[in-house]
Chain A
């Protein structure tokens, strides 16, 4: 899901930085206003937590492993605005220090994972769980469904961004300058692998973590 440099053209990269700037500004303002002083380290810890969730290999049928992005889980635990900052910070560190995800694509990656996935997942979780008890099974199911839909919406956006590249950026001979596949290939490829594999990993991880946290400390979720 992390878009590297070179997949998106300059216009697309600039567009997503422009879209994310006000989102980051609003997130900073809201979090600064609502975060209690003693929760200040929580943002950084939440960012580190969302960074290392990807290091947990989760076995999947067939003998292989996958990993979750954890964006919806962090949104459920921290709230959407704080999660937006935490996931952004994790993505920036990955891109800047470890070359995982492009620097020019930080805007697009943050739009997909720190904004779309976080907010879609969080509000789907809220919508399904309604006013159920913190320790209820409904919340576990809500977390799984929210994570599955959240990551699939993010994957769909990523597929659309890839697929638009040949239309937006091509030379006089009509040759693609960046991601070379159109919407008819990029969208099914991105959506397919997330609907069939990664969405389930995300759903299982998010639902089970919520379930375990309910057992450890019921009022947490």
Chain B
């Protein structure tokens, strides 16, 4: 079976673009002078995590809807475009939950279906709100306050940076493939291209590990990491 090249490569490229766009948008909102942006990150994280927990513990749809409206109010007060926020939170998880719940609506279990969808929507909206109103590096730093072991916090901080580097490498790779592939690709060939790229990314990772360790040594690393200092 031939695979339309623009489908497979274009989908990968669009995935990369949306990943970068999301991260950039998040950073943009995080620095707006809104309500949640002004709150100390640790307090904000604890507050929003409590609201996510509340959305899991609540057992009735009306109460969950009140919580959801409160989330929208918080988003508006934090100067997040409501259209952007609704788009960001409705696609894809709640729509997927709606599809899962569809059979319930035809079998008389409407209340269960509505409760399920509203719960997924509310908890996801709070999680997205936290990510949008806090610079990502700061959010990772707050994890130290919640007693997360140093090894995890250090790995989280370093990992976050490399994700962008890797995503850029992948984007460039797909652009290079797109510029060289004219016609359709057999799906097996497409699988070989994707896995070959994963293998070469791993090789690059090994090289990167050596370079980073050398850089750490040159900055005085003695075996005890100092993570995400002020």
Spell out A's residues near B (CB within 8 Å): 4-7, 9-10, 13, 24-25, 28, 31-32, 37-49, 51-53, 55-63, 65, 70, 73, 77, 85-86, 88-90, 92-93, 95-99, 102-104, 171, 175-181, 204-205, 208-209, 212-213, 216-217
Contact = CB atoms under 8 A, between A and B. Distances in A.
B71 interface: no
Nearest to A179: B116
Interface of B: 1, 3-4, 7-8, 11-12, 15-16, 19, 22, 26, 49, 52-53, 55-57, 59, 88-89, 93, 97, 100-101, 104, 109, 111-113, 115-116, 119-124, 127-128, 130-131, 136, 139-140, 149, 151-152, 154-160, 162-163, 165-167, 170, 185, 187, 190-192, 194-203, 205, 208-210, 212-213, 216, 223, 225
A62 B1 contact: yes
Contact of B167 (A42, A55, A209): A55
Contacts of A53: 198
A57 B159 contact: no
A88 B140 CA distance: 14
A41 B156 contact: no
Contacts of B19: 55
A102 B170 contact: no
B15 A55 contact: yes
Nearest to B9: A57
B112 A104 contact: no
A9 B119 CA distance: 11
A93 B97 contact: no
Contacts of A205: 191, 194-195, 198
A108 B159 CA distance: 22
The 9 closest A-B pairs by CB, nearest first: A44-B158, A5-B123, A48-B162, A212-B199, A208-B195, A59-B190, A6-B120, A6-B119, A47-B159
From DSSP, what is the main secondary structure of chain A's interface residues?
A: helix
A203 B93 CA distance: 26
B8 A65 contact: yes
Contacts of B162: 44-45, 47-48
Given A4-B97, A175-B112, 17 more contacts: A4-B93, A6-B56, A6-B116, A24-B152, A38-B210, A41-B212, A41-B213, A43-B158, A44-B155, A44-B157, A45-B159, A48-B166, A59-B185, A97-B160, A99-B131, A179-B116, A213-B203
